[in-house]
Structure 1
Amino acid sequence: MHQAEKVNRIVFWVITLAILLAPAIGLSAAQKVAPATNAAMPDSTDQKISDIQVKINAPSNRQAFYEDLARRLIVLQPGDTITPDAIDASLDAIRLSHRFSAIHVDSQTTSQGERLVYTLTPYKYIKDIRIQGNYPLFESDILNQMTLYPGDPYTEKDLSEQTKAIVKRYKREGYIAPYVSIQTQPREKDENTVLVVDIQKGAHYRLGTLTFDGRQGISATMLKLHMRIWRASLLPGGRFSKYRLDKDTDNLLKYYREKGFFDAELTAQKSLANDGRHVDVIVKIKEGPRYTVSFLGNKRFWDLTLKKDLVLYSNGNRRQLGIRKSVKNIKQRYREAGFLEPHIKVEKNQVPDTQLETYELQFVIQEGAETKVETVDIAGNQRIEEEKIKKQLLTRPPNLFHDGAYVPETLEEDVYAVTTLYMQQGFQERDVNSTVNLSQDKTQANVTLNIEEGPQTLVGSIVITGLTADSSAKIKPALAHQTGQPFRQSALDADKETISSLVSEEGYPHVAVEASAAVNTGRTQADIEYHVDPGPRVTLGDIFISGNLRTAEHVIRRELEVQPGTPLSLRSLHDGQRNLRDLAIFHDVSYRTIGLKEKAETVYQFVDIEEAKPYYTQIGLGYESDSGFYGRAKIGDHNLFGLNKDLWAGGEISETGFRLETRLTEPRFIGTHITASIGAFHEELTEFNQPFGTRTTGGTLSFGKEWGDHWTTALSFRLEKRDQFSVDGQSTDETEEDTRTIVVTTPYIRYDSRDSFVRPTRGVLSSLSIDISKGIQRQVDNFVRYQLDTRYYLTPIERITFASLARFGQVISYGGTNEVPDDQLFYLGGIQDVRGYKENLLCYDANGDPVGGKRAVVGSLEARIDLGMNFELTTFFDMGSVQNTPSEDGSNGFRSSVGMGLRYITPIGPMGLLYGHKLDREENESAGRFHLSIGYSF
C-alpha cells in the first residue's frame, strides 16, 4: 500500500469517527441523560456485514427483552455494506430510545465479512420516588423542584442535581442548613429503582425585631398586618425567609400606592442577630406626599369610571409617568366615545392644614364636542350590495345597540374591512377610501365610503401537476379556490397549505407545493396551476415506548392511533400525542422521531411517558349547616392494573346519615371518547327537620362525553331499592312504606364557560337533567322530574363579582296516578337555596313539619366583594317557592331573604359564615338564621 493511500485512509477514518461522535456530543448537551458511545470500525468502506451480535449487560432474565429491542433499533442487516451514515442512524436510534446508558460498537473481521458487535448497558429507571421529612412542604412541591420523575432514567450526577434543587427550595423557605440525601433501593426483579428522598430540614430562621424607618402616614400595626413574615412570627414555628420578605415589601409598596402615596419607595434591610437564628428587619420608607384625586369638567363619564384609567394606584408616579399614562388613558376613553378633541390637564394643589404633606391632583377635563354619526353613504359600488357592505361597518348612526360615536380609528378599520370584502370577492384592483364632513359645531359627522371596484377576477381553471389524476380529483374540492368563483391572491398560500397537508397525510411529509396564476389582459379571469413535488414516500417504522412502568403498552398504542408499516401521517402523530396528554394517568408525554429530518424512507417514533401517581387518598372533616358535622374518606386508583381505568371507594358520615359508594370508570368506552362508569351505593339519610328518612341501596351505569371546551352530555341509569321510614318511630301511611324498587333513566346536558371552578368571576354554568322514574311494584314512583339550573357570573369592576342563580324543578306523574312519594318532592330552605330559613323549612305545615311540592322555583343574587388577604364580603338576596303541594298546608307564594356574610378563600374553595334575614317573617318565626358553609352555594 502506498504511503499516500495510507494517509488518505487514516484521514477517512478520523472524519468517520468524528461524524460518529458528533451526534453523541450534541445529544449530551441537549438531553438530560446521554449514553456513552464507543465505536471501533473496519478500515474499508466496501466491507459487507456478515453478522450482528448484541451483548446486553443486564440480569439474564432481562437480556432477551433488551436484545430484541436493540435489534429493532439497528437498521443494519447482514449483507449490508458498512457506511458511516448507516452506523450513525443505528446509534441515533439506540440513543433516542432512552433505554441504554452505555453503547459500544466494535467490529470483528471474519472470512465472510465484518461482524458488528453492539455492547449495551441498560439504564436504571425510576420506579417510584418516596419523600420523607418534607413537611411543611407538600410532596408535590418537592417533585416540582426535581427534574426526575418516575419512569425517567437517571445517573448519579442527576441525583446530585436533585439534592441541590431541594436544598435551595428549603433555604428559600427559611431553613438555615437543610440536608437532603437521595438513596436508591434496587429491585431484584427488574432494572427499576425506587428513590428515597430523605429531608432533614434542621433549624429555621425566625423574625427578630421589625421596625419601620420613615413611616408617618400609615400605622406600624397596619403595615405589619400586610406582612406575612410578621403574621407567621405570631405562630409557633413561624419561619422567616428572604423570599417572603421581598414579597412583603412589594405588597407594602402596593398598599402605599392604594392609600395615595404615589411617590413612595420602600427597601428592606435585614441583619442576623447574635443567636444566629433571628433576623432583624428594618423597612426603610420614603413615603413622599399623600395625594388625593378628583375630576373636574367630566360630564360624559362618572368619576368612578375615569378612575379605572388611572395607573397611579397600581404603578405609582415615578418621573411623572403615572400621570402621563393616566391622561393618555382618559383621552383614549373620550376618543372612543366620539369626543375628538378632549383636553386634559392635571393641576397639583397643596391641601392646607393637614398633618401630612398632602396634594390634590385634579384632572381638569374639557370634553369638547361629542361627535355622532349622522349618515353613512356608500358610493361607487356596483357588484356588491350596499347592505352587505354596511354589515362590515362599525361606524354607523345611533340605534338601539350602538351609541353612534364617530371614531376615526374605527372608520379606518371599517375601510380595511370593506377592502377585505372586495378582495374576497375577487376585486384585485379595488380602491376604498373614506371622506368625512363634520358639522360646524363638530357634533355631527356625515361619512361616505368611496369605492372603485375595478374588474372582478374569477377562476377560469385549476390544474394540479405532479400528482395522479385520482389524487388531484380528491384534493380540488378542499381548495379555497373553485372554478367560476372569485380569485384571491391571498388564498393561494392557503391552498398550498391544504395541498401539502392532504399529500403529507398519504405518507409524503417532505412535499413541496408551488402556485402560480395567469391573469388575462382584462383581469377578469385567472388560470391557477399548483405544482406538487411529493418527495420521497415515508413509512412509519417501529414505535418505541419508554417510561410506562405501570401502564400497559397496548393502552398507549391504542391512543396513538397509528400502526407501524403504514404511511407516515404527521397529523396522526400529533393527534396521538394529544390523546395521550388528555389521559389523566400521565404526568408528561414527549415525542421524538428519527429519520424525518434526514428524509429517510422509514421514520421511527419514540414516546417517552412520565406516569402520574395512580393511588390517591382524600380525607375531610368539617361542619356545614345542611349536614352538621361530617367526615369523608375516599381512596382510589387512577390507573387500575395499568389499564387507564379509575376505581375508587369512599364513604361519608354526618349528622344527617351516611353513604357508602364505589365506582369504576372507563374513560375510553369501547375505544371511543365516551366515558362510562358503573357503581354501587348504600345510603341512609335523614335530613334536618324532616319527619321521615330514606334508606337506599342501588347501582348506577352512566355514559358521558365532552363536546369541546364547554358542552357535556350524559346518559345514566339507576336501579335502587328504597325504604322510607319514620324518624320518631311512629308508623303512619305517609311515612312508613314498603320497599320500593325503582329504575331511573336520566339524560343530562351542561354548558360551562366559567373562568374558574373554585372561584368563578365570569361565565355561565347551566344544566338540564330529566329523571324518568319507573316503579317496579308501585305506581307512585312513575314520574318525570325536570331540573333546570342556570348560574351567571359577572365582574364589572375589579374586586366585585355579581353571581346569580335561577333554578326550576318540576315533577310530573304518569301511568294513571297523581301521587308522588314524600321523598321524591322538592323541599326548600337552607344554605343551598333560600338562606335565613332552616333546612327544608321554607314551607311547613301546622305541626312545623316541612312541606314538599311537585314544583320548586329558586332565584338568588349575590355580590362578592374582595377585601384582600383572602377575605371576601358577601351580600345576597334569595327567593323561592314550593308549589303544587300534596296538602293545603303551607303557601305556594314566594318567600325571600336578604343577608350578608364573610368568607375566607382557601386553595380548595371558600369557607364562610353567613346570616340571612327573612323579609316576610310569619308569626312565631325567627328573624333569620346563621349558616356555615364550605364552598359557594352557587
Structure 2
Amino acid sequence: MSSSRKKQFALRAVSAAMAALLAPLANAFTPFVIQDIQVNGIQRIDPGAVFGFLPVKVGESFDESKASESIQRLYSSGFFNDVKIDVENNVLVITVQERPTIASISFNGMREFNDKNITQALAQVGFSEGRVFDRSMLERAEFELKQQYLAKGKYGVEVTPIITPLPRNRVGISFDVFEGDLAKIKEINLVGNQQLKTSELLKQMQLTTSGMMTWYTGSNKYSREKLEGDIERLRSYYLDRGFLEIQIEPPQVSISPDRKDIFITLTIHEGDRYRLSDVKLAGDLLGLDAQIQPLVTVKAGETFSAEKTNQTVEAISSYLGGLGYAFANINPNPVLDRENKTADLTFYVDPGRRVYVRRIEIGGNVRTRDQVIRREMRQHEAAWYDAQDIATSRDRIDRLGYFTEVDVSTAAVPGTADQVDVHVEVKEKPTGMINLGVGYGSTDKLMLTGGISQDNIFGSGNSLSLQVNTSKSNRAAILAHTDPYWTKDGISKTTSLYYRRTTPYDNDYSDGDYEVTAIGAGLNFGIPISENDRIYMGASYEHNRLDRLDPRYTPLAYQEFVREFGKSTNAFIFNVGWDKDTRDSAIAPTRGGYTRLSGDFSTLDLRYYMLSAQQQYYLPLGTDYTLALNGLVDWGKSYGGRSFPVIKTVYAGGIGSVRGFEGASLGPRDTLTGDYLGGSRRVVGNVQLYLPFPGATRDRTLRWFIFGDVGRVDNTSGGCAKGRPNDPATDACGWKYAAGIGFSWQSPMGPLELSYGRALNTKPGDEKQAFQFQIGTGF
C-alpha cells in the first residue's frame, strides 16, 4: 500500500454479529503498520476508553481480521449506535456515533409507589440516570415497573414510556402510568384437603374474598407476597398437627377478562398424620442433661407439632445462649416410620464455643445520646454473652418510645473464636408533639384536649409536657417533667404542677351550680425492683377551694364540708405504690397481666387515707379470642376525728366501671339536691370476651366484645344517703349488675369504645343508660 494512494474500507452494522458478517465484504486491502489512530464523533466518552476497546495499538500491524474485531468490540461496549473505520496514509480513523445518556427519569400518574423506591428498583435492572440509553434496557425497565404493580394486585396497569431528546446527546425518560383498579379476590379454592376442613384452613390465610369489613382491612386485595406468606402459614398449620409430609403445589392464579377479579387455587397433598414414638436428646450436652431435659416440651405419644418442636429449639438455644454459647445449633430430626405412622424425634445439640462480648456499638442515633441507649442494656461489655439479657435490652430500648425501629444483632470478631460484638441500630422518630383533640363522651359530653410534649428533650431521655383538657365536669392543666434515670440505678423522678376545676356530677337538678378548684405540686420517685416491677413513692401539696356556693342548689354534703373545713383547705398527701406489667401490648393486649397497689395518706386540713388495688388478666383462647378480667377496689377512711372529705370521693357507673348505668351514678345521693356524691369505698369487677371483628380477624386494634360488669359504691363509715325524700333511690349503695356487647377500635384520635349495656337489677331511682361511648378510655 503506497503512501500516495488512498485506501479505504467501510464497515457498517447494526450489531456486533452483523459486523462480523460484513467484514469479509469490506474492500480488500494490504495489511499495514499503524502510524497513528484518530477518533472522531465522541462527545462524552474519553478517547482513551475507545483505545482500550481496540485490539491494536500504534506500531502494530492492521488487517481485515483486526478490523472486524475492532468493530465488534466497539459495538459490544454498548456506547455507540454506529461505528466506521477508515484508513488514510497508514492512519487509522475511527468515526463513532454515541448513544445518548439518560439525563432524567420521571413518572406521571404513579400514586401506589414512592418515586424513589421505583427508581431504585429500575436501577437494579441497569436503568438509571447517567447510564447509556438502550431500547432493550427501556423494555426491561417497563417490564420491571409493570411487575411492581402486578405484585400489588393491579393487573390493569398500563405503562407508556416517553422519550424526550435533550441537548448534548441526552434523553429524558418519562413513564406515563395508568394504575387502574386493584384486582380483588373473587374465589379461593383449596383442592386435596381431606383431613382438615376448608373453612378451618381459610381462617389461617391473610387473604380473603370480599366481605363486610374488607373495605377497611384490604384483605381481599391480591398480593403475591401475601399469598406466599399464606402458603407458609398453611404449611405451618399442617406441620403443627402432625402432617410431616405436607406438600402444597405452586398456586394457580387466574384473572377475569376485565382484570378486576382474581381466582386462586391451591392444591394440597396432606399425607398422613404422625405421632411421636420417642423423643431424645443427642450431641454435646455439656453435662447439662438434667437442666436441658425439662426444656423439651414435646413428649412421646403426642401428635407431632412443629410449633412445640420450635419452642423446644428456642428454649434450649436461649438456655445455652444465657451461658455464653452465642452460636448454639439445635437441629430437630424426625425419622418417619410410614408403616406405623410414627416418628422418632431427636434433638441434636451443638453448643459451639462459649463467647463473650467485646464491644457494644450504637448506631443510627443522630439526636439521642449514646448513654440514653446504653443504660437500657442488660448485656455488658467484656462479659459472657447472654441471649436473655440481649433480648431484654432490645425490649427496654424499644419501650423508650424514641425509635421507630430497634435492631440488635451480633457479629463474630474477625480473627477470634470466642468474641462477638453487639450492634444496636436504631431509627429515631420525632419525640416532640403538639396535640389538639376533640372528643365526646356520654358522661362528660364535649371534651377538648390540647398539649405540647417532648419525650426525649435534647436527646437526654427526659420528658417535659404540658397538657390541658376541658369537659362538662372537669378542667385540668398539668405541667410535668420526668427524669427516668435520676440515678444510675434507674430511679425515676417526676415533678409536676397541676390545676383542676371540677363541677361534681349531678342529675340535672342542680345544674352544676358549684365547683371545686384544686392547685398543687408533686414530687414522685419510681424505683425498679425487676424488669416488670416498679415501686412508686412521693408527696404532693394541694390547695382546694369551693366556689359558687348557692345554698339553694349546692348539695347539702358540700355545705356540711364547708362548715367543717371552710371554703379553702390545704393538704399534704404522701403516696406509695407498686405495679407490675406483663401484658404483651399496652394497646390491644392478648396475654399477660397488670397489677397495681397504691395508697394515699393526707395530712393538714384533710385527714384521710385511700388504699387502691387493681388486677387485670388477659387470657388467650385460641388464636382469635381473648378473655379479659379486671378487678378494682378503693377503700378510704378518715382519721383524727374528721369526716371523709366529699371532694375526695370515688365514683362508678358508665364506661370503665359498670356499663348500662349512667356515668358516676352509683352510690350515695345528696338529700337536698339528689346529686351523685360518690363514696369512700368502691368495688368493680369486669369480665370481657374479645372476638375478632368480621372481616378483620387479624387486626387486633378492631374488635368487638361481650361483657359482664358488677360494682358498688358506698362509705366505709356506714350509712347511705338515698337522695331527696320525695325522690329517693331504693338501693343506691347496693350491688349493680350489667351485661351487654361493645365495639373497640384504636382510632387515630385515640382508643374508641362503644357499648350497649343492659342493667340487670335496677331498682327505683337507678339511672340507666344503655348506649355509651368514649374516646380515650381503655378497659
Q: If the length of structure 1 is used for normalisation, what is the TM-score?
A: 0.44
Aligned to 1:902: 742
1:128-165 per-residue CA deviation (whole Å, 9 max, x = no partner) reads: xxxxx99999x9xx99x999xxxxxxxx99xxxxxx99
Q: Give the alignment partner of residue 745 of structure 1, picking from 574, 581, 585.
A: 574
The residue number in structure 2 matching 1:878 is 710
Q: Which residue of the other structure, out of 823, 841, 853, is the alignment partner of 2:679?
A: 853
> What is the aligned partner in structure 2 of residue 206 from structure 1?
181
State the superposition RMSD in angstroms.
Answer: 6.1
Please point out which of 484, 507, 511 is paired with 1:667.
Answer: 484
Q: Deviations over 1:292-334 (max 9, x none)?
A: xxxxxxxxxxxxxxxxxxxxxxxxx94464xx54xx68xx9xx
Structure 2 CA distance for partners of 1:205 and 1:598, relative to 1, 3 Å: same
Find the counterpart in structure 1 of residue 645 from structure 2: 821
Distance of 1:238 and 1:423 partners within structure 2: 42
Residues 392-411 of structure 1 show CA distances to partners (whole Å, capped at 9, x for unaligned) of xxxxxxxxxxxxxxxx9899
* Partners of 2:422 and 2:585 in 1: CA distance: 37
In the TM superposition, residue 785 of structure 1 has moved relative to its aligned partner by 0.6
Output aligned runs, 1:379-394, within 5 Å.
none
1:840 positional shift:
1.6
Query: 2:469 matched to 1:645?
Result: no
Q: Which residue of 1 aligns with 2:520?
A: 698
Partner of 1:806: 631
Separation (CA, whole Å) in 1 of partners of 2:584 and 2:422: 37
**Which residue does 1:635 correspond to in 2?**
452
Report the Cα offset of residue 702 of structure 1: 1.6
Change (3 A) 1:246 1:701: same
**Deviation at residue 628 of structure 1 after TM alignment:** 2.4
**Residues 64-213 of structure 1 mapped to structure 2, 5 A cutoff:** 204-207=179-182
| Distance in structure 2 (CA, Å) of the matches to 1:168 and 1:613 | 35
Provide the secondary structure at the position in 1 that maps to 2:770.
strand
Q: 2 CA distance for matches of 1:562 and 1:925?
A: 58
Query: How does 1:204-243 map onto structure 2 within 5 Å?
Result: 204-207=179-182, 227=208, 242=223
Alpha carbons of 1:763 and 1:598: their partners in 2 closer, same or farther (altered >3 Å)? closer
2:751, 2:778 within 8 Å by CA — same for their partners in 1?
no
Q: 1:284 to 1:672 in 2, by over 3 A?
A: closer
> Shift in Å at residue 811 of structure 1?
1.2
Change (3 A) 1:726 1:826: farther
Q: 1:911 aligns with which of 716, 732, 752?
A: 752
Deviation at 1:904, TM superposition (A): 4.1
CA 420–603 in structure 1, closer or farther in 2 if over 3 Å, else same = closer
Find the aligned partners of 1:213 and 1:581 in 2 and give their Cα distance. 42
Does structure 1 residue 842 correspond to structure 2 residue 671? no
Contact 2:357 2:383 in 1 (8 A): no
- CA deviation profile, 1:662-720 (whole Å, cap 9, x unmatched): 22221211323112222222222335427553222222222113333432221132222
SS of the aligned residue for 1:549 comes to coil
Q: Report the counterpart of residue 5 of structure 2 in structure 1.
A: none
The residue that corresponds to 2:8 in the other structure is none
For 1:739 and 1:644, how far apart are their aligned partners in 2? 39
Asked whether 1:625 is paired with 2:442, we answer yes
Determine which of 751, 760, 771 is the counterpart of 1:930: 771
Number of the residue aligned with 1:377: none
The amino acid across from 1:748 in the alignment is: G
C-alpha separation in 2, matches of 1:592 and 1:211: 45
Contact 1:633/1:650 (CA < 8 Å) preserved in 2? yes
Q: Distance in 1 between matches of 2:499 and 2:486?
A: 26
* Structure 2 residue 521 is matched with structure 1 residue 680: no
Q: 1:209 to 1:774 in 2, by over 3 A?
A: closer
Q: Could you list the runs of 5+ residues in structure 2 that have no partner in the other structure? A: 1-108, 122-129, 132-142, 161-174, 191-196, 239-246, 294-318, 326-355, 697-702, 723-730
| Equivalent residue in structure 1 for 2:430, among 609, 613, 616 | 613
- Report if the CA contact (8 A) 1:786-1:809 is conserved: yes
Give me the whole-angstrom Cα distance separating, in 2, the residues matched to 1:811 and 1:625: 28
Give, in whole Å, the separation in 2 of the partners of 1:252 and 1:553: 40
Alignment of 1:339-418 (within 5 A): none
In the alignment, is the contact (CA less than 8 A) between 1:724 and 1:735 conserved in 2? no
After superposition, the C-alpha distances for 1:28-83 in whole angstroms (9 at most, x for unaligned) are: xxxxxxxxxxxxxxxxxxxxxxxxxxxxxxxxxxxxxxxxxxxxxxxxxxxxxxxx
Q: How far, CA to CA, are the matches of 1:753 and 1:240 in structure 2?
A: 36
Answer yes or no: is 1:760 the counterpart of 2:592: no
Give CA deviations for 1:748-790 in whole Å, capped at 9, x if unaligned: 1112233332233333322110011123xxx3x1111101112
Going from structure 1 to structure 2, the CA distance change for 1:420 and 1:319 (only over 3 Å counts) comes to: closer
Contact preservation (8 Å) 1:171, 1:177 = no
Work out whether residues 634 and 651 of structure 1, in 8 Å CA contact, stay in contact via their aligned partners in 2.
yes
Task: Return closer, same or farther for 1:135/1:588 CA change in 2, 3 Å cut-off.
Answer: farther
What amino acid maps onto 2:688 in structure 1? Answer: E
Instruction: Tell whether the 8 Å contact from 2:682 to 2:711 is kept in structure 1 after alignment.
Output: no
Gap change, CA 1:725 and 1:165, over 3 Å in 2: farther
Kept after mapping to 2: 8 A contact 1:546/1:609: yes
Matched residue type, 1:761: T
Q: Which residue pairs with 2:298 in the alignment?
A: none
| SS of residue matched to 1:802 | strand
Cα contact 1:853–1:885 (8 A) shared by 2: no
Distance in 2 (alpha carbons) for counterparts of 1:767 and 1:863: 22
| Secondary structure of the structure 2 residue equivalent to 1:206 | coil
Query: Of residues 530, 540, 552 in structure 2, which corresponds to 1:708?
Result: 530
Q: Would you tell me which structure has more helix in proportion to its own residues? A: 1
**Match for residue 539 of structure 2?**
717
Q: Quote the residue 2:690 is aligned against.
A: 864
Residue 569 (str. 1) matches residue 395 (str. 2): no
Corresponding residue SS for 1:828: coil
Q: Which residue among 604, 616, 619 is the counterpart of 1:791?
A: 616
> Retained in 2: the 8 A contact 1:617–1:635?
yes
Match of 1:58 in 2: none
Q: 1:694 to 1:569 in 2, by over 3 A?
A: same
* Distance in 1, Cα, partners of 2:145 & 2:457: 31
* Conserved 8 A contact 1:635-1:650: yes
In structure 2, the partner of 1:269 is 254
Deviation per CA, 1:894-927, whole angstroms, max 9, x where unpaired? 3222221131444778633323323332225456
Q: Which runs of 5+ in 1 are unaligned?
A: 1-132, 148-155, 158-163, 180-199, 258-262, 274-278, 287-316, 333-407, 425-493, 502-537
Q: Distance in 2 between matches of 1:897 and 1:923?
A: 15
Please give the alpha-carbon distance, in whole angstroms, between the structure 2 residues aligned to 1:934 and 1:592.
Answer: 43
What are the within-5 Å matches in structure 2 for residues 331-342 of structure 1? none
SS at match of 1:823: helix
Greater relative contact order (CA < 8 Å, ≥ 6 in sequence):
2
Distance 1:136 1:689, change over 3 A: farther
- Assess if the C-alpha contact under 8 Å between 2:365 and 2:428 holds in 1: yes
Q: Which residue type is aligned with residue 580 of structure 2?
A: Y
- TM-score when scaled to structure 2? 0.52
1: CA distance between counterparts of 2:733 and 2:211? 54
CA distances 1:802-844 after superposition (whole Å, capped 9, x unpaired): 3323222111222x22312211122222222122211121123
Q: CA 1:917 to 1:248, structure 2 compared with 1: closer, same or farther past 3 Å?
A: farther
CA contact (8 A) 1:207 1:239 kept: no
- What residue number does 1:38 align with? none
Counterpart residue identity of residue 834, structure 1: V
**Once structures 1 and 2 are overlaid, which stretch shifts more, 579-588 or 626-635?**
579-588
1:555-590 Cα distance to aligned partner (Å, 9 max, x none): 678788999xxxx82459998994994655455477
**What's the CA shift string for 1:523-574, capped at 9, x where partnerless?**
xxxxxxxxxxxxxxx9999x997755334567678788999xxxx8245999
Which residue pairs with 1:733 in the alignment?
559
1:173–1:552 CA distance, 2 compared to 1 (3 A): same
Q: How many residues align?
A: 518
